[in-house]
Amino acid sequence: MSIKTLKSSLKNLLNSYPDIYDKKEEFSVEFDYALEIAAGLDKKSALLGKDISDEQEKYIKEIFMRRFKTREPLARLLGFCIFMGEKFKVNAHTLIPRPETELLVRTAVEKIKINDFKSVLDIGTGSGCIACMIARNTNAQVLGLDISTEALQVALDNAMSLELINKAIFRKSDIFSSIDYIHGEKFDLIVSNPPYIPKHIKPSLQTEVRDYEPELALFTEDEYGIENYEKIISQAKNYLKPGGETIFELGANQSQLVSDLFLYHGFGDIELYKDVSGNDRVICARSL
Ligand code: GLN
């Protein structure tokens, strides 16, 4: 079957599920993703009128049938997503990497290059996408931490398939619990995309996130979603080398609160970076 025919038959099917996507173009984006992950084909192949095999067609159809019926996220149905052009394994224990997180990685990579940083700590590494993409794009070694053994297994699989095994390494740790700073285990840079969604807004989240993404990776107990930033910032100086920096991804309306936490705990040179929607998405501060 040609890719075009498959796409239009799925589009017809979609008419029975009008609430799945906010905009029609979102289906096209997901279809291209599925094509790339399931059949290794890019958008151009469709334009060139390429065919896919019967098995590939059946697989992609099944995936979208389930997607439309259950609203399970596409990446979870496929078991993979694309982040910064690379294929990452994901499962029920890992948050699906978001496009916004690219800004966190790009900012971290820039800082590492400018300052010639050699060691990076990624707290709450999940699928390992941040740790891997920093390791891939710099000379630094990245240690990814997670409290979830299952997530660490996924991170390790991703580092292995990207051939980053000595540059991105992983350890089980509840924030800093397994880092031995007293014996000198210190880092140039701490990076984290911690859980930052206050639990009380859970009912307002879209089904894909609310029902399928790991709670451990998403939610905080406090009202503003900042408890993990506070836990990290209040101890970070012990784990940073002199002049070391900390970079976080931020959720909605958190930049002022997190800036204040940094200032209170002896950090300065605070910088904020906006995402494509104009929201403060990444914050960076230096240990003074
Ligand atoms: N950005 C994710 C979302 O909006 C949340 C990620 C996080 O809590 N760190 O669903």
pLDDT digits over 24-48, tens only? 789 999 999 999 898 888 777 766 7
Report residue 62's pLDDT band, with 50, 70 and 90 as the boundaries.
very high
pLDDT digits over 90-106, tens only? 999 999 999 999 999 99
Mean pLDDT of 74-100: 97
Measuring from each residue's beta carbon to the nearest atom of ligand 1, which residues come in under 6 Å? 95, 98, 193-197, 209, 218
Give ∠ CA 113-117-121 in degrees, rounded to 5.
115
Number of separate domains in the chain: 2
Residue 61 vs residue 40, higher pLDDT: 61
First and final CA of the chain: distance in angstroms? 62
Residues 98 and 220 placed together within one structural domain of the fold: yes
Residues 128 and 231 placed together within one structural domain of the fold: yes
Q: Does residue 76 form part of some domain?
A: no
Q: Does residue 80 form part of some domain?
A: no
Residues 64 and 97 placed together within one structural domain of the fold: no
Residues 210 and 174 placed together within one structural domain of the fold: yes
Q: In this prediction, what percent of the chain has a pLDDT beyond 90?
A: 89
CATH number at residue 169: 3.40.50.150
Q: Does residue 78 form part of some domain?
A: no
Count CB-CB contacts under 10 A for residue 182.
7
Give the structural domain span for 174. 92-287
Phi and psi, residue 88, nearest 5°: -120, 135
Residues 108 and 207 placed together within one structural domain of the fold: yes
Mean pLDDT of 165-190: 96
> Would the pLDDT of 4 be above 90?
no
| Most informative mutation of 197, 211, 227 for ligand 1 (most atoms within 8 A of CB) | 197
pLDDT digits over 104-132, tens only? 999 999 999 999 999 999 999 999 999 99
pLDDT at 280: 98
Whole-number Å distance between alpha carbons of 62 and 4:
17
Residues 156 and 257 placed together within one structural domain of the fold: yes
Residues 166 and 248 placed together within one structural domain of the fold: yes
Of 39, 70, 101, the domain-final residue: 70
Of 70, 102, 117, the domain-final residue: 70
Residues 58 and 130 placed together within one structural domain of the fold: no
| Most informative mutation of 191, 193, 207, 229 for ligand 1 (most atoms within 8 A of CB) | 193
Q: Does residue 119 form part of some domain?
A: yes
Q: Which atom belonging to ligand 1 lies closest to the Cα atom of 213?
A: 10
Q: Which atom belonging to ligand 1 lies closest to the Cα atom of 193?
A: 9
Whole-number Å distance between alpha carbons of 191 and 70:
34
Whole-number Å distance between alpha carbons of 110 and 108:
5
> Would the pLDDT of 203 be above 90?
yes
Q: Does residue 84 form part of some domain?
A: no
Q: Which token pair is 97?
A: 């990497």
> Would the pLDDT of 58 be above 80?
yes
> Would the pLDDT of 172 be above 90?
yes
